[in-house]
Structure 1
Amino acid sequence: MAASIKSLSALLAQATIDDHEESLQTANAAIKKSKTDTQAHHVRAVALLHLDRFDDALKVFEGVKELQETARFHYAYTLYKTGNAAKAVEVAGAEIENAARGMKHVLAQAAYRSENFAQASRVYRGLANQGAETEEYDIRINSGATDAQLEWFGQGELAQKKKPAREDLDVFETAYNAACASIARGEFAQGDICLKRAIDRCNEVEDMSDAEKKAEILPMKVQQVYILTQMGKVDEAEQLAAAIPFTEIKELSTRHIAQVNGIAASKEHSNPYLSHRLFHSSPKPSKTDQYFSFQTNLLRQDEYVINLLSQKSSGVAFSTEKVISAAPTPSLSPAVNMAAVLNAAAHARSAPTEKAALKQILPLLEKRPTDVGLILTITHLYVLTGNYAAATHLLESFFARLSHSGSASNLDVRFAPGLVATLVSLYVQQGRPGAARSELSKAAEYWGKPHKSKTEAPSKALLVAAGTALLDTHNQDNAKTAGEIFKGLYNQDNEDRAAIAGLVAAYSVTDSSSIPSDLTSILPEASRLVSDIDAVALEDAGVPALALPSQPSESRKRAAPKSIPSKAKRIRKARMPKEFDPNKKMDAERWLPMRDRSYYRPKGRKGKKRAEGFTQGGIEEKAPVQQQQGSGGTKGGKKKGKGRK
């Protein structure tokens, strides 16, 4: 033991920060003498980490199990750098309460890479509150990147910032993160402004070489192509994409995304077979340079679409079927539901109409009755054909099956915000506000209960919509429920104006005396809200005016307008004749038989003769009338022919 300590002391004495190769050689020499020297193995692992030989460092930790406990920080960092972020989170988070700042940074980075952005945000918030001036800049950059990812993953309510501050646009890293967050929220114009600011700020940095600036700016331009495409500026996007040197982008994942965006923005790549070849021409990224799951889903979706355009429907159907069958149903996974939508498209085989597509897809519902992606696809096709009742019935039946199952995971799907919003939209389309309010109320009640859910937090948009719908009923009990909803939102964020306004509105119905003054002071004054309203214009437009006490009741009545021009009734095309001329005045008597029309004039002797029987009094005809001779018949009449009656 003494020899081991002596050799380690000599080892550390010779080690320097700048010469990690020498530290590695000394550690190797010590290990040759004693393979059980744990401290020498530790020094060897640290030297390998400094030399960026992460795979070799991982072998050291796997070979010496004791190091995994005694050198937990370096082990977690090694796992993170070798692409095993989930394992790194497990190791770094085991004793995080009493851990040093370095371990917390590793945990935050590993949580970010393993897509646990809520945990990463909490760790960065804690590091910022603890205070460290030397780390303030790095924490601000990493927190901004985490906020952007939360927006992409539909958890924007957990983001620390919803809008970029002025200081965020002063540095290119934070400006780029602000641009990404704006893009994730669908605010493309704001994202474009932030992105241009980031490129300008990067070019202004003095302590960076031109090569370093180019390496930072290229990914920003790739993002700019996406923004221009989403804004409909396809020509600008195509021009910018053509100017990006794809081969100079170091990260292979970014290079592939750049090439895919270039295909999407290019008019020259209208040939699907050429696009298919270009799509698969990029080299695959390493395991430490992987896409985030939402990027993987989009790229896989692009691949399936290109395959469908290349007449590879059978291959797409087979591939997507494997993805669907490998996952439990029902599922809220974007990858699984996207595969279900494209599986339906593959079975439709480019059907010419929505009804034809439904005929091909509906049989799949018998095999996969709980497939969320398939059900939403059929719902969408029903809406396109105008069959809102069938779309509503399909979703209601699906929800009923999930509710009766009693499974916690099934109920999470049943009350998923997106599915609830779809059914509520169908109710609104059909003029059923009561059903919409009932559905929102059920969803708010479900997410308000404490239960183990897959979702980190219930959707804020869903809760706000539910609370607002309950307030619109003007019912005391519903207002109380709405107050509980907005109270929960206020406890999460006491600066949320939607929560404050809802809470005040609910209190005003249930107990107006208990409204805290600090809440009403935050809301804008009523005079400010109605400052741009013209009361006279509203009265002239037909808003009834209140009568003064001295006025008789008749003064409140308004005279009807003298003449209201009748709006021409629109005739459907199916009811129009083939040679219909809309400019020609239609005959008012067109529904009467020709002989009953006022302008009818029979032609010829026989026609005039027939007209005699049609006239009912008034007009004397000069035609000869047959005279009667008693009761014995006619005089001078011709004898009837044989067989005629």
Structure 2
Amino acid sequence: MSTPVASLSKLLAHTSLDDHDEILQAANAVLKKNKADSQAYHAKTIALLKLERYEDAVKAFEDEGRLKDDAGRLGYAYALYKTGNAEQAAQAAQAQGGRGLSHVLAQAAYRSENFEQAAKVYKELSAQGAEDEEYDIKINSSAVDAQLEWNGLGDLASKKTTTREDLEVFETAYNAACGCISRGELKQAEVCLKRAKVLCDALTDLDEADKKAELLNIGVQHVYVLTQLGKTDEAEHLLKTMPFTEIKELSTRYIGQVNSIAASKEHTNLYESHRLFHSSPKPPKTDQFFTFQTNLLRQDEYVMDLLSKKVTGVAESTSKVISTSPAPSTLPSVNTAAVLNAAAHARNLTEKAALKEVLPLLEKRPSDVGLLLTITNLYILTNNHAAATHLLESFFRHLEQSGTASDLDVRHAPGLVATLVSLYAHQGRHSHSKTELAKAASYWRHKSKMPSKALMVAAGKALLESQVQENLEAAGEIFGSLFEQDEKDRAAIAGLVAAYSLLDPSKLSPELASSLPESARLVSDIDVAALEEAGVPTLAAPTPSIQTKKRPTEKVKAESGNKKIRKSRMPKDFVEGKTMDKERWLPMRDRSYYRPKGRKGKKKMEGLTQGGAVAEEKAAGGQVVQQQQQQQGGGQKKKKGKGKGGKW
């Protein structure tokens, strides 16, 4: 009879196991004899992780609770991450630990869309320094920067522009392209993607299968960029070389097939395109879309339904999305649903016809931001900017009267403020623009978190232009807070220098002013002579008519010569060379040489003379009636012709 196995360490001491399946069997054998053997549990979980049996590993970790708190925390967090439970993985990796836990925390935070935390962790890892991890940290940090840009948090990105260093490795070149797309720099994104393809294809330490998978991922992104640039022929040609069925990640395959419908000229049948859109494979839990991708794909789905005349279904489904969030809301998913809900009610009509159908919805949903912006856009399309401005102003007043924190956040949302400021600018109401920007900046300065650097910079610039002491102080505070967040921010430095130079130059440190580029350097590459030769307009010599607005003197009139009179302005009896009558524009009775003919004419002339005698006659009732004739158009009213003028 064999002796019982005391522990896994004794078992492994007498064997030479190098297969994870064998280690797992040995660990299970020990656990059958002694369930309290922690070493056996640890060996079992490690073997399950090596075998990529992550669901079983999570269960094993949870059965042995001590491992989650001690040495097994790293494995437990990693197993949760691999099973698609990113939020739980981030919570498990929160405790202070080694670099391994920090890497898992950063990956889990990225996958759970907590990009601020991911950026912070990678920044700490980079500061600690580790040569063997520098490459991976650089790649992952660039991916986080792209996600920050896509989620409106580009101010937190470590790199905001593409550098030469980014184009040395295909992974960083691809991530740089994603960052360019999120910032709207599509041409630069195309350059980065082409570079990424070349670098990936030239790799020798990557097997052909992995290389093909990477090239397909780059190609899917390239198709999108080409489509957005309007290069549909190039996009369609690229699509023909891409076997979508070979893309391993189902999320990428799904996006690729959806983009192929938009880029291909073959899919002209709307109903066929609708069928292809809904036949694309849905990714599993471990390969889910990010929120911004989900919103865009849902928007594409609604658009496909609208084009297929399924307006009732779109109206109902979008109404459910809108009702899930309290109004007003700035969530993109809710406001996009509101726009498509309005399109469904308008039944694909546009401009004034759409306004007639959509305006009644605003009475039912007065706090719907998406609906409000839709109506504002329709007003602008119909060239009714005043109505669009009034609509936004009324909405802002409504939110201000509410006074709740959430309503005030929406009231000062950067996008809404920018819309109203743009309308003011279009109407030339620049003082209103400055007031609105200053109000929004003042509101967000007292918040713990500023939503938009662009809003603060615009507000600071507007306040600097006013030259009022109070506004200059507010501008200094705005640029000062931006400078505290990022001391290398050129906009913050320039604004701070401008504000201090007007307020108190003594507070302006020489180091701060010297950090800005010199004006001579900014214009050093400008060739003034070349600009003039290219046709830069120059000021002509001033003429008497330009120098003064007064009527020209007789001398100037004589020098200017007689102007040629148009034929339509000449009298019928005009004779070339004959002196024209200076009183020709006066009525005949008012000319100095007019002499009435006959007794009646003379009597009539006497009655028309200003200050002359007034004839008085007795009326039937003994009253005196003045017989002075009115001098209006020759003394008699003309009979109004038919069809001319308004009603009497």
Q: TM-score range by the shorter chain?
A: 0.7 to 0.9
Of 473, 478, 486 in structure 1, the residue corresponding to residue 471 of structure 2 is 478
SS at match of 2:474: helix
User: In the alignment, residue 244 of structure 1 is paired with which amino acid?
Assistant: M
Q: Distance in 2 between matches of 1:444 and 1:23?
A: 63
| Change in CA separation of 1:586 and 1:322 when aligned onto 2, cut-off 3 Å | farther
Give the 5 Å matches for 1:230-249.
230-249=228-247
1:373 aligns with 2:370: yes
Q: Report deviation, 1:255.
A: 0.5
User: In the alignment, residue 72 of structure 1 is paired with which amino acid?
Assistant: R
Give the 5 Å matches for 1:37-436.
37-70=37-70, 71-93=72-94, 95=95, 98-351=96-349, 353-436=350-433
Q: Is the 8 A contact 2:5 2:33 kept in 1?
A: no
Q: Distance in 1 between matches of 2:367 and 2:12?
A: 63
Q: Report deviation, 1:282.
A: 1.5
Q: Report deviation, 1:342.
A: 0.4
Give the 5 Å matches for 1:459-474.
459-474=452-467
SS at match of 2:132: helix
Q: Distance in 1 between matches of 2:452 and 2:233?
A: 37
| Change in CA separation of 1:400 and 1:37 when aligned onto 2, cut-off 3 Å | farther
Q: Distance in 2 between matches of 1:198 and 1:178?
A: 10
| Change in CA separation of 1:289 and 1:588 when aligned onto 2, cut-off 3 Å | farther
Give the 5 Å matches for 1:437-586.
437-451=434-448, 457-529=450-522, 532=526, 541-542=538-539, 558=547
Q: Report deviation, 1:418.
A: 0.8
Q: Distance in 1 between matches of 2:136 and 2:124?
A: 14
| Change in CA separation of 1:587 and 1:491 when aligned onto 2, cut-off 3 Å | same
Partner deviation per Cα, 1:355-392 (whole Å, 9 max, x = no partner): 11111111111221111111111111111111112111
Q: Report deviation, 1:587.
A: 6.9
Q: Distance in 2 between matches of 1:346 and 1:483?
A: 48
SS at match of 1:283: coil
1:9 paired residue number: 9
User: In the alignment, residue 191 of structure 2 is paired with which amino acid?
Assistant: I
Q: Distance in 2 between matches of 1:332 and 1:507?
A: 36
User: In the alignment, residue 171 of structure 1 is paired with which amino acid?
Assistant: V
Partner deviation per Cα, 1:61-118 (whole Å, 9 max, x = no partner): 333334332322221111111111111112211x2xx311000000000000011111
User: In the alignment, residue 67 of structure 2 is paired with which amino acid?
Assistant: L
Q: Report deviation, 1:40.
A: 2.5
Q: Is the 8 A contact 1:424 1:440 kept in 2?
A: yes
User: In the alignment, residue 436 of structure 2 is paired with which amino acid?
Assistant: E
SS at match of 2:314: helix
SS at match of 1:132: coil
Q: Distance in 1 between matches of 2:162 and 2:73?
A: 37
Q: Distance in 2 between matches of 1:14 and 1:24?
A: 16
Q: Distance in 1 between matches of 2:187 and 2:519?
A: 32
Partner deviation per Cα, 1:307-362 (whole Å, 9 max, x = no partner): 000010001111111111111221111111111110110000022x4111111111
- Structure 2 gap ranges (5+): 558-565, 574-587, 595-648
Q: Is the 8 A contact 1:104 1:123 kept in 2?
A: yes
Q: Report deviation, 1:429.
A: 1.0
| Change in CA separation of 1:459 and 1:587 when aligned onto 2, cut-off 3 Å | same
Q: Report deviation, 1:281.
A: 1.5
Q: Distance in 2 between matches of 1:59 and 1:348?
A: 53
| Change in CA separation of 1:266 and 1:518 when aligned onto 2, cut-off 3 Å | same
1:24 paired residue number: 24
SS at match of 1:329: coil
Partner deviation per Cα, 1:248-305 (whole Å, 9 max, x = no partner): 1111110011111111111121211011011112211110011111111111111110
Partner deviation per Cα, 1:105-156 (whole Å, 9 max, x = no partner): 0000000001111110000000000011111111011001111111111111
- Structure 1 gap ranges (5+): 546-553, 564-584, 590-596, 600-614, 619-645
User: In the alignment, residue 82 of structure 1 is paired with which amino acid?
Assistant: T
Q: Which TM-score applies when normalising by structure 1?
A: 0.81
Q: Is the 8 A contact 2:4 2:33 kept in 1?
A: no
User: In the alignment, residue 447 of structure 1 is paired with which amino acid?
Assistant: W
Partner deviation per Cα, 1:578-604 (whole Å, 9 max, x = no partner): xxxxxxx99779xxxxxxx969xxxxx
Q: Report deviation, 1:36.
A: 3.9
Which one is further off, 536-545 or 256-265? 536-545
Q: Distance in 1 between matches of 2:143 and 2:16?
A: 34
| Change in CA separation of 1:281 and 1:588 when aligned onto 2, cut-off 3 Å | farther
SS at match of 1:21: helix
Q: Report deviation, 1:529.
A: 4.3
Q: Distance in 1 between matches of 2:420 and 2:166?
A: 40
Q: Distance in 2 between matches of 1:11 and 1:278?
A: 57
Q: Distance in 1 between matches of 2:403 and 2:204?
A: 62
Identity value in percent: 61
User: In the alignment, residue 242 of structure 2 is paired with which amino acid?
Assistant: I
2:605 paired residue number: none
User: In the alignment, residue 446 of structure 1 is paired with which amino acid?
Assistant: Y
Q: Distance in 1 between matches of 2:29 and 2:234?
A: 61
User: In the alignment, residue 484 of structure 2 is paired with which amino acid?
Assistant: N
Q: Is the 8 A contact 1:242 1:262 kept in 2?
A: no
User: In the alignment, residue 19 of structure 1 is paired with which amino acid?
Assistant: D
2:613 paired residue number: none
SS at match of 2:401: helix
Partner deviation per Cα, 1:22-65 (whole Å, 9 max, x = no partner): 12111211222233444423322221111111111122233333
Q: Distance in 2 between matches of 1:17 and 1:439?
A: 73
Q: Distance in 2 between matches of 1:16 and 1:227?
A: 55
Q: Is the 8 A contact 1:108 1:120 kept in 2?
A: yes
Q: Distance in 2 between matches of 1:15 and 1:175?
A: 48
Q: Is the 8 A contact 1:14 1:23 kept in 2?
A: no
Partner deviation per Cα, 1:449-505 (whole Å, 9 max, x = no partner): 134xxxx64211101000000001111211111011111111111111111111110
1:582 paired residue number: none
| Change in CA separation of 1:15 and 1:458 when aligned onto 2, cut-off 3 Å | farther
Q: Distance in 2 between matches of 1:16 and 1:502?
A: 70
Q: Is the 8 A contact 2:476 2:495 kept in 1?
A: yes
Q: Is the 8 A contact 1:253 1:285 kept in 2?
A: yes
Q: Is the 8 A contact 1:172 1:202 kept in 2?
A: yes
| Change in CA separation of 1:510 and 1:43 when aligned onto 2, cut-off 3 Å | same
Q: Report deviation, 1:11.
A: 5.2
